Structure 1
Amino acid sequence: MRFYNFTIIVAIASILTSCGSYLSQPVDFEAPRTGEISETTKRLRSLPEPEEKVVVGVYNFRDLTGQYKPSEVGSTFSTAVTQGATSILVKALEDSGWFTAIERENIGNLLNERNIIRSTRQEYQGGNSSEPQLPPLLYAGILLEGGIVSYDTNIMTGGLGARYLGVGASTQYRQDRVTIYLRAISTSSGKILKNVYISKTILSQALDASLFKYVSFQRLLEAETGFTRNEPVQIAVKEAIEKAVEGLVVEGIEDKIWTPKGGDTIASQLVNDYSLDKEEEELTGLYNRKYIERKYNSALGVSLGASLLSADFSKNYLAPQLTIDYKNHIYRGLALQLSGSVFELNGGAAFTETFGSLGAGLNYTVLPNDKLTPFVQAGAGVLSRLSEIEISDAKSNFFKLQYGLGMEYLITDNLGLKGFATHNITLSDELDYTINGTRDDHYFNFGIGVNFYLGKSNNNN
């Protein structure tokens, strides 16, 4: 019954978390509206004014992927991305306020129309030389080239669902990715002044909940609800192009290709803000994971926790333990680890004793470039009784094998917070002074602590 209630709660919570989409279902025809304004558009429009606008020409900014829209029911001739990226780029150039875009995509139409104007004037004005000539066309100092170079589907898919006694809910998602390149070329020298690379993910999401249950004899209740939400590819392309234009402007300021009004003060502030954002974005990997560089190759760790005996007594209790360890990275996430512990093993009234242990082994950080990472460790060591031995001829020193796993969160470059659990096998049944059964005595250590990172990082780590 508890799981039944839990399933209903999960279904309701899933719907409520996306209630913006669920409660905004279309119920009537909608009037035309202006295009959506994203945060990228707002940043582009908030750029400072230029000292002088740059005349640019865009001949073609096209789809270079050659990819058709994926379909589960057969082939389709609809392309995966828009074929009107040139128009989107021209609009982004206008929104930035930094460029004067001139018509080059359909330059043939423009030249034909100008020829028609000249012919008409010559034919109906009798060659009157006092009539003004057509003004010359603007020529571009910079050409903008590039295109949509990649559209990758299903780079990440997944979902979650549960069903119990006819009540269930599920959610699914899919993430695609579009990539563009934009470069600026000097028409006087042919030199490529800047080349900007931008990618944007595209999210598709589905959520549904259903109920199928007999409420009484021959009375069946069946209900279902749900929705899907797909991020428009055109908007994703638009945001990627706008981000590329913003990057082109700021990186051009940084390289002194053009300057903003307000001089070096405005330029420095704009470049610094952009550099911080770019550095943050470059640290983020393909699956939106932030990659960091660990700057230190060794660490001193201190942790507090508890030990739990598993031996020949039926009752065992958690007891305190203190651990100090040192690790030095050998290669990437692999480190040599030395550790020392003082802990108590508590078997109730029958057995309670304090031990000390020394160990050596290997520690492997699974995700060495992430702030939050699991780690595994394994090794061997010795432990000794620190309390007075109850039986004079009892064994006081033991060899042990140990392995465990844990999780670490890097708070700063040289400080990490960790939690761990280890299993220690003593290879002896005399730890609690009692030999019983065929299984050797063993114990568990649990703890939380901190790692203080020291030294300098090697290039191979």
Structure 2
Amino acid sequence: MRKKAVGIIYLVIISVFISCGAYFNQPFTQKKARIGENTSPEFLAKKFLPAEKIIVGVYKFRDQTGQYKPVLNGSTFSTAVTQGGTTILLKSLEESGWFRPVERENIGNLLNERQIIRNTRQEYANGKKITMPPLLFAGTIIEGGVVSYDSNIITGGSGLRYFGAGVSNQYREDRITVYLRVVSTSTGEILKNVYVSKTILSQGISANLFRYVSLRRLLEVETGVTKNEPAQLAVKEAIDKAVDVLIVEGIVDGIWEPKGGDTAKYYVKKAYYKEQLESSKIKLYNRKQEERRGKFGVGTSMGMSKIVGDYINPTFQFGYDFKFKYRLDDPKFNFWVTLGKYELDNKSTFHESFITSAINFEYTFLPYEKLTPYMYAGIGSISRKNLEDSFFKFQGGLGLEYLLSNKIGLFVNGEYNMPITDNLDRQIVGNKNDLVWRFGAGINVYF
């Protein structure tokens, strides 16, 4: 009975905390057709319409990757990227509000139909002259394609299993890259060339229970859900963004003229340069490379200190210090100086206050991240409160800092001090020097 109760408890926990998400995402009923998703609501170019819409032709915009859809045990003959890139691009050009697309992908069909119309009208014209309106010609054509589809640029997951009950999650990220260029039909000059990348995320969570609840009674439960970002929507979003960037860069370079004149140009330039600056900080895997910590900084910390000396029963005692920090040209390396005070104590034997100073060289492992570990080492001195004795020391430590903002950071650290003396506790026994452990937490302010 006890095993059965445990199994039921596991089942309830899994059902409540894990599988409810899976059940809520199950398609229980058929869905009616709907209007397509709006993939790019933040068109910068849409804020200002053109002085005159641009007639543009698109002959082809194809998948140039030649890659097939990846599966667990190889690949299939289904392509990884949609083959309807031209259709998607024409839709994006229309939605931008800047272009008048003309039919060029199937120009043969259009010409055949115009010929049928002309022949039919001539047959029933009774000798009258038949004319048809001329076709629009494009002053520019847009070309390009999906040039890469990178599978599994990031994969990972986590899981936990205990006594036959387990949960796990997995994720995978792919990436597509789109190039787009606009060409003048008068001169053949490539007026502008841009590229945009977009990641495609796939996630899966699962939970299962496998347990004997009684003799010859096996309980097995499994549930889960997987979500895959549609590749077609990713391609549409990437093309939308490429069209937007094409228009904006054309405004910045004077290729296109927006309504609103210089005021509109100034707004677009300011917004685009801001976006460029943010984009330049983001490297592969969407890691934002930003110099978060200023050139100079000040900080303070409080903590506990403990002596390892010649007496027994050392205790932790309160201490504090202040520091001034200077960052070198490489943001991974810093110098800082400290001045502080702490007490050392052996129960019922020794208790005294000390003033300490130090110069440290610090290495920051992840200088562009909000949360980073760091290590440091340096030299300094430790003196009794009345400055009657001063001792040279080496110190080193490890720490962890988290930035609340680019100016304020919280940190914790542990430090190992090695004074060049065995007289720190006023007792010289043996040939080993006294040591001091310090642990603290504090705040840094950068400017």
Q: How does the TM-score come out when normalised to structure 1?
A: 0.84
The equivalent of 2:4 in structure 1 is none
The equivalent of 2:303 in structure 1 is 306
The equivalent of 2:79 in structure 1 is 79
CA contact (8 A) 1:180 1:240 kept: yes
Instruction: After superposing the two structures, state which structure 1 stretch, 155-164 or 349-358, moved more.
Output: 349-358
Listed one character per residue, the Cα deviations across residues 385-444 of structure 1 (whole Å, up to 9, x for unaligned) are 22587xxxxx752423322223152724xx341413132232555433456797853312
Distance in structure 1 (CA, Å) of the matches to 2:336 and 2:51: 59
The equivalent of 1:140 in structure 2 is 138
The equivalent of 1:291 in structure 2 is 289
Gaps of 5+ in 2: 1-6
The answer on 1:49 being equivalent to 2:41 is no
Q: Structure 2 residue aligned with 1:234, among 232, 235, 252?
A: 232
CA contact (8 A) 1:326 1:337 kept: yes
Aligned residue identity for 1:149: V
Q: Offset of 1:332 from its aligned partner? A: 4.3
Instruction: Give the direction of change, closer, same or farther, for the CA distance of 1:386–1:154 in structure 2 (3 Å limit).
Output: same
Aligned residue identity for 1:32: A
Q: Structure 1 residue aligned with 2:222, among 201, 221, 224?
A: 224
The equivalent of 1:37 in structure 2 is 38
The equivalent of 1:457 in structure 2 is none
Distance in structure 2 (CA, Å) of the matches to 1:163 and 1:255: 58
**Number of paired residues?**
436
Instruction: After superposing the two structures, state which structure 1 stretch, 197-206 or 444-453, moved more.
Output: 444-453
Aligned residue identity for 2:220: E
Aligned residue identity for 1:426: M
The answer on 1:344 being equivalent to 2:343 is yes
Instruction: After superposing the two structures, state which structure 1 stretch, 431-440 or 324-333, moved more.
Output: 431-440
Q: Offset of 1:148 from its aligned partner? A: 0.7
Q: Offset of 1:232 from its aligned partner? A: 0.6
CA contact (8 A) 2:315 2:346 kept: yes
CA contact (8 A) 1:62 1:147 kept: yes
Identity score, percent: 44
The equivalent of 1:26 in structure 2 is 27
The answer on 1:329 being equivalent to 2:325 is no
SS at match of 1:139: coil
The answer on 1:158 being equivalent to 2:156 is yes
The answer on 1:254 being equivalent to 2:243 is no
The equivalent of 1:459 in structure 2 is none
Instruction: Give the direction of change, closer, same or farther, for the CA distance of 1:82–1:44 in structure 2 (3 Å limit).
Output: farther
Distance in structure 2 (CA, Å) of the matches to 1:328 and 1:264: 42
Distance in structure 1 (CA, Å) of the matches to 2:35 and 2:358: 68
Aligned residue identity for 2:103: E
The equivalent of 2:424 in structure 1 is 431
Q: If each structure's strand is expressed as a fraction of its own residues, which one has the higher value?
A: 2
Q: Offset of 1:328 from its aligned partner? A: 4.1
Distance in structure 2 (CA, Å) of the matches to 1:43 and 1:138: 27
CA contact (8 A) 2:291 2:368 kept: yes
Q: How does the TM-score come out when normalised to structure 2?
A: 0.86
Q: Within 5 Å, give how 1:61-460 maps onto structure 2.
A: 61-122=61-122, 124-125=123-124, 128-131=127-130, 133-293=131-291, 297=295, 299-311=296-308, 312-329=311-328, 331-386=330-385, 397-409=391-403, 411-412=405-406, 415-426=407-418, 429-434=422-427, 440-453=434-447
CA contact (8 A) 2:305 2:319 kept: no
Distance in structure 2 (CA, Å) of the matches to 1:11 and 1:376: 44
CA-based RMSD: 3.1
Distance in structure 2 (CA, Å) of the matches to 1:41 and 1:348: 69
Q: Offset of 1:294 from its aligned partner? A: 5.9
CA contact (8 A) 2:149 2:175 kept: yes
Aligned residue identity for 1:102: V
CA contact (8 A) 2:153 2:174 kept: yes
Aligned residue identity for 2:127: N
Q: Offset of 1:235 from its aligned partner? A: 0.4
Distance in structure 1 (CA, Å) of the matches to 2:164 and 2:292: 50
SS at match of 2:25: coil
Listed one character per residue, the Cα deviations across residues 165-197 of structure 1 (whole Å, up to 9, x for unaligned) are 222111110111111111112222222222222
